[in-house]
Amino acid sequence: MASKLPSSRSKSTLSITSKVVTLQTSDEACGPCKRDNSEDYAFCWCIDCAEGLCSDCEKHHKKSKTSITHRLIPLLKLKDISDFLRNFTQTCCDHTGGSFTFYCKSHDKLCCPGCVTIHQKECHEIITLGEASVDAKKNGKIEDLGLRMKEALTTLNELENHKKDNIGMINAQRNGIRTTLSEMRRKVNDYLDSLEMRIEEKLLQAHKECIEKLETQTKDLEKRTETLKTWQSDITMVKDYGSDTHSFVMSKSLENLMTELETFNRRSTENFVGLNLSFVTSTTFENLQNTVHALGEISVNKSSTELIITPRKSARIKSKLIVK
């Protein structure tokens, strides 16, 4: 039965119109006059009809039986009224043009004549809207609704504050993660610096040993070169100024020395070894880009936060809201 009646939500109890109301009287035309192709401007606003009325139409509106109970508000006061209150009419969404004139006590639903016609056999506690609204402002329902709104507002404020705190926490966490990343980068840099320092020390040591060895060999070659030049000078001198005997004896002495020198040169040429410095990258370091693809992962986790909301005094029980 409940599914056949109009919904009790706001869209059925208060039919929201798309009418946009301007707060200046000079901009809002009188609805009835406009339908008569007149250009009179509205003086007040009828909440029930959702249209403006000029002063003459206002008088007729108050006298007509169909609109004598309608609520009229001076147009200039509309700025103090919300769009929700300003733009609704008590019109049934299920039946076009049907105004709410009845109330079903069994289902707590507002009904228009069309609703009653369709569901009258199923509902036996239908009363007029006038009967249902007797002392509506005094029976406590308005006050109770106000308390519920106050409680809901408190809850919304708590939720809003929690979300704002969460934003602050997320900002702090972002900064904390950035600090962690900077610290990781510093540690990696320090470690690479230490590795570089160690390899630099090895490089200097290897360079020193190579230079010392090559310089020693160079000095030996320089010495042998100077000795050979001396022999060349001596043999020329003996050839030019020495006797045959002197030349023969000296030649024999130099032949043995030259044999040793030539043997040295031949062996040095055949077994010549040059020194080279090279750097072989560590296999682990070469594979670093293939094994380390990220410094870490960023994840968003949901945490359950328990907010204690104090409800109306009539409930006398604390409700707990889990915010996720």
Question: What pLDDT shows up at residue 21?
Answer: 40
Using one digit for the tens of pLDDT, what is the confidence trace for 289-305? 788 888 788 888 888 76
- Rounded to the nearest 5°, which phi and psi values hold at 188? -65, -45
Q: What is the mean pLDDT of residues 36-52?
A: 86
Query: Pseudo-torsion of CA 193, 194, 198, 204, nearest 10°?
Result: 40
**Helix, strand or coil for residue 224?**
helix
**Residues spanned by CATH 4.10.830 within the chain?**
18-86
For 102-125, the DSSP string reads EEETTTTEEE-HHHHHHHTTT-S-
**62 in Cβ contact with 72 (< 8 Å):** yes
Confidence of residue 135 (pLDDT cuts 50, 70, 90): confident
Give the whole-angstrom CA distance, residue 302 versus residue 73. 49
Give the whole-angstrom CA distance, residue 319 versus residue 307. 9
User: In the predicted model, is pLDDT for residue 54 greater than 50?
Assistant: yes
β-pairing verdict for 51-53 and 72-74: unpaired
**191 in Cβ contact with 288 (< 8 Å):** no
Question: What pLDDT shows up at residue 91?
Answer: 76
Confidence of residue 282 (pLDDT cuts 50, 70, 90): confident
Q: Of 68 and 13, which is predicted with more confidence?
A: 68
Question: What pLDDT shows up at residue 71?
Answer: 84
User: In the predicted model, is pLDDT for residue 152 greater than 70?
Assistant: yes
User: In the predicted model, is pLDDT for residue 211 greater than 90?
Assistant: yes
**129 in Cβ contact with 69 (< 8 Å):** no
% of the chain beyond a pLDDT of 90: 37
User: In the predicted model, is pLDDT for residue 97 greater than 80?
Assistant: no
Give the whole-angstrom CA distance, residue 187 versus residue 153. 50
For 275, the token pair is: 């020194």
Say if domain 18-86 classifies as CATH 4.10.830.
yes
Residue for token pair 């209150």 = 85
Give the whole-angstrom CA distance, residue 92 versus residue 95. 6
Residue for token pair 């390899």 = 199
Beta-bridge partners for 99: 91
Question: What pLDDT shows up at residue 88?
Answer: 62
Question: What pLDDT shows up at residue 307?
Answer: 67
> Mean pLDDT across the chain, nearest whole number?
81
Global pTM value: 0.55
Q: What is the mean pLDDT of residues 226-237?
A: 92
**32 in Cβ contact with 55 (< 8 Å):** no
**148 in Cβ contact with 312 (< 8 Å):** yes
Residue for token pair 């029980």 = 317
Using one digit for the tens of pLDDT, what is the confidence trace for 4-30? 333 333 333 333 333 334 334 446 789
- Rounded to the nearest 5°, which phi and psi values hold at 207? -60, -45
Question: What pLDDT shows up at residue 85?
Answer: 64
Question: What pLDDT shows up at residue 315?
Answer: 42
